[in-house]
Amino acid sequence: MPSIDKAGTFRLGHRDVKRLGYGAMQLAGPGVFGPPKDRDAAIAVLRAAVAAGVDHIDTSDFYGPHVTNQIIREALSPYPDNLVIVTKIGARRGADKSWIPAFSPKELAQAVRDNLENLGLDALDVVNLRIMFDVRGPAEGSIEAPLSALAELQRDGLVRHIGLSNVTPAQLAEGRKICEIVCVQNHYNLAHRDDDAFIDALARDGVAYVPYFPLGGFTPLQSSALTAVALRLGATPMQVALAWLIRRAPNILLIPGTSSVAHLRENLAAATLSLPDDATAELDAIASPP
């Protein structure tokens, strides 16, 4: 496995973690619903990631639901002392595979208990409150009520640190009046760059930014410029896209997901890929229309 140390570290909660982590969403079945086709392969990917030095894993009990957390527990428990497991609450799954907001204090408390039980933990390292005003992206609206409920669970000792997902800068400012926010998890990648200014502001404050869909998610990144840079550097387009994110800002923590050990190796090799200035300039010009 390639060394991921070259990408450096950044603070997440009370620990410094390596900037290349792993996202567990793809360990569930199609549509992030139900069990995977090959559970043994899913377990192998998790063990390979930790063996390669990955020390933070992103998950949620609404992946499956319950599936990815149960696989993580089977694969990695008892957990290494340095492993940070980050989970999300604020949604539940319908029988039709839909994503349904679940913001009430009762629903949030149940979500925390479900994550604890399925992961086999006494306390959750980091819990991201996923804001569901619009599943397509951040939308303004007060987050005081659900975040206050989560902060109460933190005071009860069930949650160590709190982050926010799918949020705007205004919602972050509101959230900071309620509790410390250790990370923001929003949609961002080489082509989807709405959060450019947000990332820079968080970097100045020393707050981690964790882009979800760093490789495009359900619609993988495609760009002739990206392909051309990758060919010149002898890398894959996805490795280049991850290397660009590593270079983009020091507070970016990456959680690319995969259900394949071979693909995991490719993703982690991005840590050792150096982007020349001219290549970075070409990549900077790739962005979807605002």
**Three-class SS state of 11:** strand
Which stretches of 177-236 are DSSP H helices?
196-205, 224-233
Closest CA to 64 of 119, 103, 20: 119
Among the listed residues 63, 188, 209, 212, the single catalytic one is: 63
Do the bridges between strand 9-12 and strand 84-89 make them parallel or antiparallel, or are there none, so unpaired? unpaired
Range 284-288, long-range pairs (CB < 8 A, 24+ positions): 285/225, 286/190, 286/191, 286/223, 286/225, 286/226, 287/190, 287/191, 287/192, 287/193, 288/191, 288/192, 288/193
Residues near 181 by beta carbon (within 8 Å), at least 6 away in sequence: 162, 163, 164, 172, 175, 207
Beta-sheet strands, E only, within the chain:
9-12, 15-18, 22-23, 56-58, 84-89, 91-93, 99-101, 124-130, 159-165, 183-187, 208-212
Q: How far apart (Å, rounded) are the C-alpha atoms in residues 188 and 2?
A: 25
Cα Rg of the chain, angstroms: 18
Active site residue 63: yes
Report how far apart, in Å, the C-alpha atoms of 138 and of each of 142, 163, 184, 195 are. Answer: 12, 15, 12, 10
Closest CA to 114 of 61, 162, 77: 61
Active site (catalytic) residues: 63
